Amino acid sequence: MDLSFSPEELAFRDEVRAWVKSALPAHLAQKAEMDAEFSHAEVMEWHKILAKKGWAAPHWPAEVGGTGWDAARRFLFTEELELSGAPRLSPFGLSMVGPLLIQFGNAAQKARYLPKILSGEEVWCQGYSEPNAGSDLASLTLRAEDRGDHFVLNGQKTWTTYAQYADFIFVLARTNSEAKKKQEGISFILCDMRAAGVTAKPFLTTGGTPAFCETWFENVKVPKENLVGEQNQGWTYAKALLGHERTLVAGIGISARALLRAKRIAKETLVGGRPLLDDPVIRQRIATLEIRLEALRMANYRALAGAKLGHAPGPESSILKLRGTEIQQAAMDLNMFLMGQNSLSWYNEPNVVPPREQWVAPAFNYLRAATIYAGSNEIQKNIIAKMILGLPG
């Protein structure tokens, strides 16, 4: 198995790097330099720049507006975007419901939704988790009552990321409460966020961002044509959705950028007139994290090499998610440690934290959730134990 990139792939990486540097508007590049939080409008501005280039959905088939790139080029593209600090596009349309519609949607649904997802004209959010249905998602209780030509939705979703900006939400809803197994009787439904009875209320994270919402559905009418696939088969589609782009879950570029920032802080922070980087304990801690990141990179390369040979990523992607999010958190832990008491100040507190580092504390707080979202790490450990180690479930 060849874990190295070809000369053509390395040339592609250089092309992407150069284009991103030239295409990122100055005001976004300035925020990227600080790893600052981008507003929704700024994310969509970058989305439309990528869409104009034809690079907004690298994992979509070329016939529906994708690039036609293989797994290696998609990985290199994503890593370069992460390393640049550019705004990360919302995944809900491009990486979740879009690929699902390509796989399971009917012709009318593809024609209606895919072009506007690609262009950024319409924004999506996800309606999966509920107050009492997170890791045990099959316990969801949002009801979709069949009224012949439409459904009526009643219930609540939570952790609906940036729902306050979304035009549409895709939900898992219970359409058969008499099913023998709780995974049965669930349907995958598309709902207009502007429909009567839909209410999204954002709340602040400890990172200071209005990233999440509570979303309520009160007698919301949804036309039958918004049902994706077959009724009561939504659990199958949900599992397929979560499987898209599994080779990209490690977040190599995110951790690499955080590690570069840790080195910069250690070099610029003086203690007794000497930089922290001169301390052998500090150098050892940085080196240890860098070794862990390199090991993760090699594991990701193995998954990519398998994908290039036509092997679909399997349960080993749980290893990438598990270790990747742990390293992201460890990298921000290190940044906080190196900043010392300055790490306790907030990002808008003047004359305390160097401007380039003012977003360390919010990022540290936000990434506490990394080991929970996209399938908690405890669930990933169960998958690894059962599917890789062969332990009884």
Backbone angles phi, psi at 184, to 5 degrees: -85, 160
| pLDDT one-digit tens code per residue, 54-64 | 999 999 999 99
pLDDT digits (tens, 9 = 90+) for 285-298: 999 999 999 999 99
**Band of pLDDT at residue 178, cut at 50, 70 and 90:** confident
For the cut 60, the answer to whether the pLDDT of residue 217 exceeds it is: yes
CB atoms within 10 A of CB 270: 10
Tens of pLDDT, residues 89-99? 999 999 999 99
- Mean pLDDT, range 241-254, rounded to an integer: 70
Q: Helices 252-268 & 280-308, crossing angle to 10 degrees?
A: 160
Burial zone of 108 (CB within 10 Å; 0-12 exposed, 13-18 middle, 19+ buried): exposed
Known catalytic residues? Answer: 245
- Tell me the pLDDT band of 1, cut-offs 50, 70 and 90: very low
| CB-CB contact of 59 with 66 (8 Å) | yes
Over residues 189-195, mean pLDDT: 98
Instruction: With a cut of 50, say whether residue 232 has pLDDT above it.
Output: yes
Domains contained in the chain, CATH given: 7-89 (no CATH), 124-241 (2.40.110.10), 246-388 (1.20.140.10)
DSSP run (H or E) holding 227 = strand 227-228
